[in-house]
C-alpha cells in the first residue's frame, strides 16, 4: 500500500518495521497474505496487527482456508495513518482492530466476529468452523460479551468495563474462563467442540495466549482451567495454524515486555511491600474497634483518640500500596471514590454525633501528620471547625 501524502516520516518508519514483521510471518511452510507497502490489489483488505488477539481470530480463518492474497490482503492501520486517523475511522468509527474493507463493493466491516462470519460465508473451501454448532456459538458469545469487554485488565490502565479495580476484573476473567471450561468435553476430540476446529477455537485461542502470557505477571497461576490448558497446549502443538498464530502474537507481545509495559501496574510491577500496621489487625478482628460501617471494600470505626465530638476513621480493607495518598495512581481511583462516598454517608449520621457538615481529612506523610502508614480518612464533626487547620 502507498503512503498518504500527509503521513509523517515516523509513520513510514513504523510501517517499514511492521512490513518486515509481516514478511517474517510468511517464512514458514504456510502460505499466507503478507503486508505490502503498495496499494493492495486484493479484493478485500484486513486491517490488523500481529499483536491483535481479536484480529487473530480472522487470521486463523484466512490461514485455515488458505485464502490467497489476491482475495484477502493484510495491512497495518498505519497505512491509513493509524487507528484514530480520519481515513481509518471512516472504515471503523470505533477506532479498533480489526477492520475489513471490500474493494469491489466499498463495504467496510468492523468487529472480529462479523468479519470472521463474513469470511466463512464468502469462502466455503476448507473447514466449516462449525457455524451451526450451538456450543461453538455459545463459547464465542461468552468470549465476546464477558472476556473481550474486560480484557484490558491484562495489559492497560483502568477502567475495565464495569469493574473499577484490576483485581475484580482479573477475578471475573478467570471466572468466565471456568464457565467456558465447564462447557467442553476433552474426550470428544482435540478442539473445543470435537475433532474439527470451530469458530470457538478461533475466537478463544488468541485470548488464551494473552492469558497464558499475562496472568503470571499478576502472580495468577495456572492461567487457564485444567481443561482449557489441555486444549490450549494440544492445539498449539499439533495444529500448525494455531502454532503460527501463537508465534505471531508472542512476537507482537515481546516489545511490550521489553518496554516494561507492566512495570507500573498494581499487582504486577507494583506490589505492596511495606510492613503491615495495626489497621490490618483491626480488619482481621484481632484488635477491637467500634465499627460504624463496613462493606467488602472499607471499614469505618471510631477514633480511639477523638479530635472532635464525632471522629470516625475509614480505611480500605486492602491497602494495595496505598500507604499514603501520595502513592495513589489511577489504579486506586475506585477505592478512593468509595472512601469519600462512605465519608459522606457517615457525616450525615446524627446518631454518631455529626451536625450540619463535617471536616474530611487525609493526612499524607510526616509533614501532613500521618502516623499510620495505611491510608485513612478522618471524618470529624459535632462542632464548628476553624480555618486554617493546625
160 within 8 A of 152, measured Cβ to Cβ: yes
| CA gap 292, 288 in Å, rounded | 13
Chain centroid, CA 195 distance in Å: 31
Residue 114's closest CA among 58, 76, 64? 58
Residue ranges of alpha helices (H) inside the chain are 9-25, 53-64, 86-89, 112-122, 134-142, 166-181, 199-214, 226-238, 240-258, 278-283, 333-347
H or E segment to which residue 231 belongs? helix 226-238
| Grid cell in block for residue 362 | 487525609
- Strand 298-302: give its sheet, edge to edge: 291-294, 298-302, 310-316, 377-381, 359-361
65 within 8 A of 118, measured Cβ to Cβ: no
- Strand 99-102: give its sheet, edge to edge: 72-75, 44-47, 99-102, 108-110
Told to judge if 378 belongs to the known catalytic residues of this protein, a careful annotator would answer: no
- Supply the residues annotated as catalytic: 376
Amino acid at each position: 500500500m502507498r503512503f498518504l501524502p500527509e503521513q509523517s516520516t515516523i509513520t513510514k518508519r513504523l510501517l517499514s518495521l511492521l512490513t518486515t514483521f509481516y514478511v517474517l510471518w510468511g517464512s514458514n511452510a504456510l502460505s499466507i497474505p503478507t503486508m505490502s507497502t503498495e496499494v493492495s490489489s486484493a479484493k478485500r483488505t484486513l486491517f490488523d496487527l500481529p499483536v491483535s488477539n481479536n484480529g487473530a481470530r480472522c487470521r486463523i480463518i484466512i490461514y485455515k482456508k488458505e485464502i490467497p492474497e489476491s482475495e484477502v490482503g493484510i495491512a497495518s492501520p498505519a497505512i491509513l495513518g493509524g487507528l484514530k486517523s480520519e481515513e481509518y475511522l471512516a472504515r471503523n468509527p470505533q477506532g479498533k482492530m480489526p477492520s475489513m474493507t471490500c474493494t469491489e463493493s466499498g463495504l467496510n466491516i468492523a468487529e472480529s466476529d462479523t468479519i470472521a462470519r463474513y469470511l466463512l460465508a464468502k469462502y466455503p473451501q476448507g473447514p466449516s468452523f462449525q457455524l451451526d454448532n450451538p456450543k461453538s456459538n455459545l463459547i464465542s458469545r461468552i468470549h465476546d460479551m464477558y472476556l473481550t469487554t474486560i480484557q484490558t485488565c491484562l495489559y492497560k490502565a483502568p477502567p475495565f468495563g464495569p469493574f473499577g479495580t484490576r483485581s475484580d476484573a482479573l477475578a471475573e476473567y478467570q471466572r468466565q474462563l471456568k464457565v467456558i471450561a465447564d462447557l467442553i468435553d476433552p474426550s470428544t476430540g482435540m478442539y473445543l467442540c470435537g475433532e474439527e476446529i470451530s469458530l470457538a477455537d478461533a475466537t478463544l485461542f488468541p485470548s488464551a495466549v494473552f492469558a497464558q502470557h499475562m496472568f503470571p505477571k499478576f502472580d495468577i497461576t495456572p492461567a487457564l482451567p485444567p481443561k482449557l490448558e489441555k486444549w490450549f497446549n494440544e492445539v498449539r502443538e499439533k495444529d500448525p495454524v494455531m502454532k503460527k498464530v501463537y508465534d505471531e502474537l508472542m512476537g507482537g507481545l515481546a516489545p511490550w515486555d521489553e518496554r516494561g509495559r507492566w512495570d507500573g501496574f498494581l499487582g504486577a510491577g507494583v506490589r505492596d511491600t511495606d510492613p503491615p500496621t495495626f489497621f490490618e489487625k483491626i480488619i482481621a478482628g484481632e484488635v477491637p474497634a467500634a465499627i460504624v460501617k463496613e462493606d467488602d471494600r472499607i471499614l469505618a470505626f471510631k477514633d480511639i483518640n477523638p479530635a472532635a465530638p464525632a471522629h470516625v476513621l475509614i480505611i480500605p480493607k486492602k491497602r494495595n500500596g496505598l500507604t499514603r495518598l501520595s502513592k495513589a495512581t489511577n489504579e486506586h481511583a475506585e477505592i478512593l471514590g468509595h472512601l469519600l462516598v462512605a465519608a459522606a454517608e457517615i457525616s450525615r449520621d446524627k446518631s454518631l454525633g455529626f451536625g450540619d457538615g463535617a471536616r474530611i481529612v487525609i493526612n499524607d506523610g510526616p509533614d501532613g501528620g500521618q502516623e499510620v502508614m495505611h491510608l485513612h480518612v478522618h471524618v470529624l464533626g459535632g462542632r464548628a471547625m476553624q480555618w486554617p487547620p493546625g
